[in-house]
Chain A
Amino acid sequence: MLTIQEIVETIEMVQKEHLDIRTITMGISLRDCSHPDVKVACKKIYDKITRLASDLVPVGEQLEREFGIPIVNKRISVTPMAMVAESTDTDSYVDFARTLDRAAEAVGVNFIGGFSALVHKGLTVGDSKLLDAIPQALAETERVCASVNVASTKSGINMDAVYRMGSIIKEAAELTADRDGLGCAKLVVFANVPEDNPFMAGAFHGVGEPESVINTGVSGPGVVKRAVEKVQGTDFGTLSETVKKTSFKITRMGELVGRAAAERLGVPFGIVDVSLAPTPAVGDSVAEILEAMGLERCGTHGTTAALALLNDAVKKGGAMASSYVGGLSGAFIPVSEDAGMIRAVEDGALSVDKLEAMTCVCSVGLDMIAVPGSTTAETIAAIIADEAAIGMINQKTTAVRIIPAPGKDVGDSVEFGGLLGRAPIMAVNSFSSSDFVRRGGRIPAPIHSLRN
């Protein structure tokens, strides 16, 4: 029998502490949609997405009502578009992005991920065309998200692709200059990308995935923060234990809702991504959890250790609660989407360098960081290379989602609104990395890539 305390705890988690299912993402394979004629290929893509995902939003809303748990986003991820579009006889892949955008609008999802390419070892003709299309695709469409994997522990870092991504990010920012460079907020550059991640902007439907799948992402920074606040002054073992128990409960809920959604939609259930993903709402902040652990401001000395404890405890609790935990499980540290992170930057406690150190122990990487519009493509490429190196050597996922805000400088901020939030412009190192990133070729994989 349930106790009254348990029931009240669940109700409080939802009503006061912003516990939610952050996203239900339906993965859809588009591998059977290839066709030499671009019009036919686009029609097949549109038809398949709208057929499989037509009930996604209604089912999500139905579950929300029954369980009384908000399901914030309903989204779609598709096969990396470079693979689907490659056999098409066209030079511009923007048509494919427009098709994804229309399909997403038709079924009522706010983002569709998978305008993507995996180029960690090299580029095919299709990969290259997709990369070329990214800036225009992001500027012209509203809901399409793009991602490119440029490095892995097994293959090393494709520095040609890294440099190219530096230029693509600059171009994407300039094409959306009227919206503070919004295009870049929908573009992620990965190392060791997971293929079952339900979180945008990096979601896509990996090649090892089934025809269609439901992945859920749960999140509850507010719940964890409250739990951490309750054990103030205790030792680290108690702190870790508290986070683990909370993470366990959050994950259980994600699995229940994910399985229910999968059953009603008639597709297999994939994974629960148990992540602490902040939102701009007050009290829904990862930085505030770190501060509740005893740091005056996120970014001060000790922050990396605090984040390491948090990330690990979240994963441990999640792994106990569900056998199918995947994606990017851990703690996200985006700047613009986290009120505590924004404050830390504005107070001068948090710099890009400290963020980079934190990415060694967080679930992803440098996320939603705005830098001066004058930042060169070479510098952006060098930032990507640093992150990719951290991912490659440490066998973890890392990513960069960076916005060189056109016409803005340190002291200004960019405003995207909604879930993407607001980002103060952060300073980058003023010395050049140009000769380094222009070398070209591939940084070899580390020795532990030979494990087999």
Chain B
Amino acid sequence: MQRPETPGGSRIIVSVLGHDKVGIIAAVANILSESNINILDISQTIMQGFFSMILIADMENSKIDLATLKELLANKGEELGLRIDAQHEDIFRYMHRI
């Protein structure tokens, strides 16, 4: 049996959900760049009137850990009236791909 992967990689998915406004991407990108987290891909869409942005980033050379990053993003989200979260990529990949 092939051994299913357990979290190990350094890629994370940052999700932003809420009402659209100026400066969301800049705010998130700032937090990431200050922590030396490399952005790999960004896509955004308006779904059912909600702004949603998904950002894939690499934490390999990050100065902070995931828990700290989540806190920083959540605080920024509160400030902007949005829900911003970071999660390990594995949960998404494992759920949708065999």
Contacts and interface: CB of A to CB of B under 8 A. Distances in A.
B4 A8 contact: no
A441 B85 CA distance: 60
Interface residues of B, number: 30
A4 B43 CA distance: 7
A7 B92 contact: yes
Contacts of A69: 91
Contacts of B93: 2
A65 B43 contact: no
Interface in B17-67: 17, 43, 45, 47, 52, 54, 66-67
Interface residues of A, number: 22
A249 B6 CA distance: 16
Given A67-B87, A256-B90, A323 B1 contact: yes
A252 interface: yes
A131 B64 CA distance: 54
A11 interface: yes
Contacts of B92: 2, 6-7, 10
A160 interface: no
A4 B67 CA distance: 23
Contacts of A260: 6-7
Nearest to A250: B95
A74 B83 CA distance: 27
A255 B93 CA distance: 13
A11 B86 CA distance: 11
Interface in A320-377: 323
Contacts of A253: 91, 94-95
B67 A256 contact: no
B70 interface: yes
A66 interface: yes
A154 interface: no
Interface of A: 2, 4, 6-8, 10-11, 15, 65-69, 249, 252-253, 255-256, 259-260, 263, 323
Interface of B: 1, 4-7, 13, 15, 17, 43, 45, 47, 52, 54, 66-67, 70, 83, 85-97
